[in-house]
Amino acid sequence: FSRVLASEKSLSEKLYTNSGGSIVNAEAVWDHVTMADREFGVYRPVIVIKVLDASNKDWWWGQIDEEIGWFPASFVRLWVNQEDGGAELAEGTSEVQNGHLDPTNDCLCLGSPLQNRDQMRANVINEIMSTERHYIKHLKDICEGYLRQCRKRVDMFNDDQLKVIFGNIEDIYRFQMGFVRDLEKQYNTEDPHLSEIGPCFLEHQDGFWIYSEYCNNHLDACMELSKLMRDGRYQHFFEACRLLQQMIDIAIDGFLLTPVQKICKYPLQLAELLKYTAQEHSDYRYVAAALAVMRNVTQQINERKRRLENIDKIAQWQASVLDWEGDDILDRSSELIYTGELSWIYQPYGRSQQRVFFLFDHQLVLCKKDLIRRDILYYKGRIDMDRYEVRDAIDGRDDDFNVSVKHAFKLCNRDSEEIHIFLAKKPEEKIRWLRAFHEERKMVLEDEKIGFEISEYQKRQAALTVRKVTKQKGVNRWAPPSYPPPQDPLSLGQYEVTEDMAQGEVFEFSQSKRGQAPFWQNFSRLAPFKK
């Protein structure tokens, strides 16, 4: 997305090589996603690329295995000592290292000395500034070239369609313009290596969260565009928009991909900048902090994307539960955090009942197994986790319920005297539940911070998927849930709720390795915590 692709060249054209006649090799330092024909992606870890033609300073012609095509020069690093097999790697980006472009004959040459750290830092700074300027141009083209024209055609697009296709692209455009203005103020045109751009990322760090909504919506945008493109009218319309705006020859879906690529590229650029920033440089600690911030942003965006990809499973699970009452799970929740069986006592009844509990963000769902068909679940209610707090219960006689308890914890209503008490079979199971409740609150707070939610369009798509699956396979019945495998025993004395308890923990649906397992088993087979 940095420059218009160079025109296609035949293999019969002259190949630029070093003086020894051998092909110049390079490796990928940043990931590049293809966006046009005759272009190939370069990805880390090391991929050996044969640089066949470097006459264009921005796009090089090369070969990976049997594939030949264009790739961005700024995404690779040349190898030094090419005549010795290319075992050593040049420091820096592709344009500014042992291999360079000779302006006198437009060919790739080798042999000049490696540039010093200041020059390398200047090159990375210049590359960041260049990509930011090109990116702003792409955003402007999307907003003015496509979105503005689409709004004029009420006969072809409604508001819901435009919201799905373009998401919050205008918010991103406004944010990015402010970010680039501040970046330009910090850019030292005379001595780029002295530029201090780290603070700009830190000052705008909260603004980058708007990319979460766009990235989470991107798959829906592609699906909606794909449906529209089946009609030739829309193909001609979008092409006319591109020509009218004098945009580069990339399809609209390629333009809409650029924000996704951009937010993922920031950590790569900052890591490269930090590499060439001396510790005594005034920008060093700011770049290091900015790198940590942007890695966290991309990590959280990826996590939200994974959660949205799992909402179909949640909708299918709800459809399998008999006697369901009230709102759909997806109206408030998007993640199954933990599940298991517990004994449950609820005032004023005071009678112990065995239930299967499913902890989602914002709510805890209670289900009962059928007495004969143990693979059938009945809905028995839910607890609003936003109104309750979790409290540990000491083994022994409980004052609230006047019963003896062991491995227990409580949920207490913040607005009333309502109390629920839960009893686990083992102390380590109690600890897992306490950790799960802590993770649930943490997830809710993070979602509120970045405004994460499931769109109405995504809910409708999940419902359509459920109906399609039900129609094809009929109503499935589920096997009992599979619990996490036994772990090293944990004593109650080791448990303490801390702010960073769940740091780095990953939740994901595990796939059965023993063949096709019933859906409920797959749904509840989670790995919520690293023990």
**Can you tell me the distance from the alpha carbon of 61 to that of 41, in angstroms, rounded to the nearest whole number?**
12
Residue 60 has pLDDT above 90, yes or no: no
* Percent of the chain whose pLDDT exceeds 70: 72
Mean confidence (pLDDT) of the chain: 76
The predicted pLDDT at position 13 comes to 35
**Can you tell me the distance from the alpha carbon of 513 to that of 517, in angstroms, rounded to the nearest whole number?**
9
Displacement of CA 284 from its chain's centroid (Å): 27
More confident residue, 10 or 281: 281
**Can you tell me the distance from the alpha carbon of 531 to that of 525, in angstroms, rounded to the nearest whole number?**
16
Confidence of residue 497 (pLDDT cuts 50, 70, 90): very low
Is 410 in contact with 435 (CB distance < 8 Å)? no
The predicted pLDDT at position 367 comes to 94
Closest CA to 337 of 169, 132, 528, 201: 528
More confident residue, 88 or 137: 137
Residue 112 has pLDDT above 60, yes or no: no
Residue 44 has pLDDT above 60, yes or no: no
Closest CA to 481 of 333, 305, 321, 306: 321
DSSP string for 172-206: HHHHHHHHHHHHHHH--SS-GGG---HHHHHHTGG
The predicted pLDDT at position 117 comes to 81
**Can you tell me the distance from the alpha carbon of 153 to that of 240, in angstroms, rounded to the nearest whole number?**
13
Question: What's the farthest any 2 CA atoms get from each other in the chain?
Answer: 91
Whether omega for the bond prior to residue 348 falls within 30 degrees of 0, making it cis, is yes
Closest CA to 33 of 184, 257, 185: 257
Residue 23 has pLDDT above 80, yes or no: no
More confident residue, 39 or 247: 247
Is 69 in contact with 42 (CB distance < 8 Å)? no
Point out which residues pair with 381 in neighbouring strands.
366
The predicted pLDDT at position 15 comes to 34
Confidence of residue 34 (pLDDT cuts 50, 70, 90): low
More confident residue, 317 or 96: 317
Enter the pTM of the model.
0.60
pLDDT digits (tens, 9 = 90+) for 280-325: 999 999 999 999 999 999 888 888 888 887 888 899 899 999 999 9
pLDDT digits (tens, 9 = 90+) for 328-377: 999 999 999 999 999 998 766 567 889 999 999 999 999 999 888 877 89
**Can you tell me the distance from the alpha carbon of 306 to that of 52, in angstroms, rounded to the nearest whole number?**
39
pLDDT digits (tens, 9 = 90+) for 184-194: 999 999 999 99
**Can you tell me the distance from the alpha carbon of 348 to that of 352, in angstroms, rounded to the nearest whole number?**
12
3-class secondary-structure state, position 238: helix
Angle value at C-alpha 320, between 319 and 323, nearest 5 degrees: 80
Contacts of 460 (CB under 8 A, 6+ apart): none
User: H-type helices in 385-499, by residue range?
Assistant: 427-450, 456-473
The predicted pLDDT at position 42 comes to 57
Is 86 in contact with 99 (CB distance < 8 Å)? no
Angle value at C-alpha 433, between 429 and 438, nearest 5 degrees: 145
The predicted pLDDT at position 33 comes to 54
Confidence of residue 244 (pLDDT cuts 50, 70, 90): very high
**Worst-scoring range by mean pLDDT, 41-50, 51-60, 232-241, 454-463?**
41-50
The predicted pLDDT at position 129 comes to 93
Query: What is the per-residue burial (b if ≥16 Cβ within 10 Å, else e) of 61-79?
Result: bbbbeeeebbbbbbbbbbb
**Can you tell me the distance from the alpha carbon of 311 to that of 316, in angstroms, rounded to the nearest whole number?**
9
The predicted pLDDT at position 139 comes to 95
pLDDT digits (tens, 9 = 90+) for 403-448: 888 999 999 999 988 899 999 999 999 999 999 999 999 999 988 8
Work out the end-to-end distance of the chain between its first and last CA atoms, rounded to an integer number of angstroms: 42
Is 88 in contact with 80 (CB distance < 8 Å)? yes
Point out which residues pair with 170 in neighbouring strands.
none
**Can you tell me the distance from the alpha carbon of 126 to that of 288, in angstroms, rounded to the nearest whole number?**
19
The predicted pLDDT at position 45 comes to 53
**Can you tell me the distance from the alpha carbon of 126 to that of 189, in angstroms, rounded to the nearest whole number?**
9
Displacement of CA 430 from its chain's centroid (Å): 31
The predicted pLDDT at position 91 comes to 38
**Worst-scoring range by mean pLDDT, 223-232, 355-364, 453-462?**
453-462
**Can you tell me the distance from the alpha carbon of 50 to that of 26, in angstroms, rounded to the nearest whole number?**
7
At 447, list the tokens: 């979602």
Confidence of residue 401 (pLDDT cuts 50, 70, 90): confident
Mean pLDDT of 245-255: 90
Mean pLDDT of 486-513: 33
Question: Side chain identity at 30, as an amino acid letter?
Answer: W
Q: What is the sign of the dihedral through the CA atoms of 112, 115, 120 and 123?
A: negative
Residue 147 has pLDDT above 80, yes or no: yes
The predicted pLDDT at position 41 comes to 59
**Can you tell me the distance from the alpha carbon of 218 to that of 213, in angstroms, rounded to the nearest whole number?**
9
Closest CA to 187 of 135, 130, 137: 130
**Can you tell me the distance from the alpha carbon of 20 to that of 220, in angstroms, rounded to the nearest whole number?**
52
Closest CA to 386 of 448, 434, 327, 326: 448
pLDDT digits (tens, 9 = 90+) for 98-109: 333 333 333 343
Residue 209 has pLDDT above 70, yes or no: yes
The predicted pLDDT at position 79 comes to 61
Residue 232 has pLDDT above 70, yes or no: yes
The predicted pLDDT at position 68 comes to 77
The predicted pLDDT at position 213 comes to 86
pLDDT digits (tens, 9 = 90+) for 459-491: 888 888 888 776 665 544 444 333 333 333 333
Residue 83 has pLDDT above 80, yes or no: no
* Percent of the chain whose pLDDT exceeds 90: 44
**Can you tell me the distance from the alpha carbon of 477 to that of 322, in angstroms, rounded to the nearest whole number?**
10
The predicted pLDDT at position 106 comes to 37
